[in-house]
């Protein structure tokens, strides 16, 4: 049983107009086996939270903490965080020229496990995982994300989730850009990973439609860099009906508008 704990996290970025605070005190605790959904309007800071957990250099933590089983995540480099068991399925997966998927997957797996995977079983595992996510076999020979469609990129993120077996997965709008069938296939992948009982999930989304397939125990409403309300799955249903207007209007009294 592992715990990922985010405490009063404040995060800023450098902009042309100077430093801008985006996360304004976020606290969350996620345990193995739990699924937490974070829902919030555009620009509320959801991706900022996800990228900060992964350690993207653009984001500066000005105060607060992130710990994994008590270990200070903020002290770790990006690759150390991944090896410690954190995984970020990105909203916009990056195309990496020159590196085939096969080569990439094997290198990453080796880095995460600290030893090379057994060649015979690995090749089989990769193929089986690709099959289940309906990823064509010839993707293995293509460069990482290069020329993949938006939906294909998302599937490949979940492929990695299944192969790397992280302790905590942060899924940043994995549902956006997916058609209904792909949404189902991808959700099944997440559920398979979850069913191992060794993973906690932080699911970032705008829409409730993915929650038909992936069932969160906790829903957090995120507005203007903060969690403004927490609840169970019923909160998601309410958001579906009412939208974020209520919260945004509330936040609108603050100096900065929350949505862009």
Residues of this chain that interact with ligand ATP (CB under 6 A) are 13, 15, 20, 22, 40, 42-48, 91, 206, 260
Of the residues 12, 35, 44, 47, which one makes contact with Mg ion according to CB under 5 A = 47
Q: Could you list the beta-strand ranges (E) of the chain.
A: 3-15, 18-31, 35-39, 59-68, 71-72, 86-89, 168-172, 200-205, 218-223, 226-231
Q: Kindly identify the residues of this chain, within the stretch 28-67, that bind another protein according to CB under 8 A.
A: 54-57
Q: Alpha-carbon distance 178 to 148, whole Å?
A: 13
Chosen from Mg ion, another protein, ligand ATP, none, partner binding at 88 (C-beta under 5 to 8 Å by type): another protein
For residue 173, the minimal CB distance to Mg ion (Å) is 6
- Residue 43 contact partner, candidates ligand ATP, Mg ion, another protein, none, CB within 5 to 8 A by sort of partner: ligand ATP
CB atoms under 10 Å from CB of 8, counted, come to: 12
Query: Which is closer to another protein, CB of 97 or CB of 197?
Result: 97
Number of residues counted as binding another protein (CB under 8 A): 31
- Residue 109 belongs to what H/E stretch? helix 101-113
Please choose, out of 20-28, 104-112, 121-129, 199-207, the segment that lies near another protein by the rule CB under 8 A. Answer: 104-112
* Biggest alpha carbon–alpha carbon distance for the chain: 60
Q: Stretches 45-53, 106-114, 127-135, 219-227: which one binds Mg ion (CB under 5 A)?
A: 45-53
Indicate whether 98 belongs to the interface with another protein (CB under 8 A). Answer: yes
Reading across the β-sheet that carries 59-68, which strands appear in turn? 18-31, 3-15, 59-68, 71-72
Q: Which residues touch 91 (CB under 8 Å, ≥6 apart)?
A: 47, 50, 172, 173, 176, 204
Pattern of binders to another protein over 143-172, x per CB under 8 A?
Answer: xx---------------x---x--------
Q: Which of 1, 96, 137, 254 binds another protein (CB under 8 A)?
A: 96
- Quick one: CA dihedral 159, 86, 143, 210, positive or negative? positive
């Amino acid at each position: 049983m592992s715990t990922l704990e985010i405490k009063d996290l404040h995060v800023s970025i450098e902009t042309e107009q100077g430093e801008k605070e985006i996360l304004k005190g976020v606290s969350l605790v996620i345990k193995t086996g739990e699924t937490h959904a974070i829902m919030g309007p555009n620009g509320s800071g959801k991706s900022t939270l996800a990228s900060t957990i992964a350690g993207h250099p653009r984001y500066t933590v000005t105060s607060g903490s992130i710990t994994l089983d008590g270990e200070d995540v903020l002290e770790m480099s990006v690759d150390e965080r991944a090896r410690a068991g954190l995984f970020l399925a990105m909203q916009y997966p990056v195309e990496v020229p020159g590196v085939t998927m096969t080569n990439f997957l094997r290198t990453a797996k080796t880095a995460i496990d600290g030893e090379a995977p057994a060649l015979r079983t690995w090749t089989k595992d990769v193929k089986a995982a690709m099959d289940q996510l309906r990823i064509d076999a010839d993707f293995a020979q293509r460069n990482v994300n290069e020329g993949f469609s938006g939906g294909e990129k998302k599937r490949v993120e979940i492929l990695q989730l299944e192969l790397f077996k992280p302790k905590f997965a942060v899924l940043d709008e994995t549902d956006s850009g997916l058609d209904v069938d792909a949404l189902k296939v991808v959700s099944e992948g997440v559920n398979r990973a979850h069913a191992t009982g060794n993973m906690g999930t932080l699911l970032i989304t705008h829409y409730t439609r993915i929650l038909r397939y992936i069932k969160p125990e906790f829903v957090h409403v995120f507005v203007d860099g903060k969690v403004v309300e927490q609840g169970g799955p019923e909160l998601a249903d309410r958001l579906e009906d009412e939208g974020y207007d209520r919260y945004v209007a509330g936040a609108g009294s603050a100096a900065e508008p929350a949505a862009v």
